Amino acid sequence: MNRHERRAIKAMQRSLKQMQRPKRESGDAVPEHPCGHCGQLLDGASSDTGVQAKPGDISVCVACAGINRFRADMSLEGVMMRDLGYLNEEARAGIAAYRTALSRGKAS
């Protein structure tokens, strides 16, 4: 398992813990919005750096592993990996590893 896969698994574990928490009050940094791919309602985002999500950031849906980008109003816009050419190679590799880890978790 490489470094990106280990980081992706840790981020996925944090996301799953966050999903199990009770609903948060309104006004949170990440309001509930549907995934731009599967429509699953998402109300949280985690980061391996601990930074809160902001417009333009990327999120991976824990339900379908679809890639989303936060819009200015913090709603989610479904995007494809080919749309992320502006990200550096390490960031794209991290996203790919996270998606792989999610897919493997669903298969077991």
- pLDDT per residue as tens digits for the range 83-103: 999 999 988 998 999 898 888
Cβ-Cβ contacts under 8 Å for 92 (sequence gap 6 or more): 81, 84
Alpha carbon distance 97, 92 (integer Å): 9
Structural domains in the chain (count):
1
Longest pairwise C-alpha distance within the chain: 39
Q: What is the pTM of this model?
A: 0.70
Task: Give the residues across from 67 on adjacent strands.
Answer: 60, 79
The domain in which residue 74 lies consists of 3-107
Spatial separation of the C-alpha atoms in residues 50 and 101, rounded to whole Å = 20
Q: What is the pLDDT of residues 28-86, one digit of tens each?
A: 457 889 999 999 998 877 776 677 888 999 999 989 999 999 999 999 999 999 999 99
> pLDDT tens across 14-43, in order?
665 555 444 444 334 578 899 999 999 988
Q: Token digits for 68?
A: 């989303």
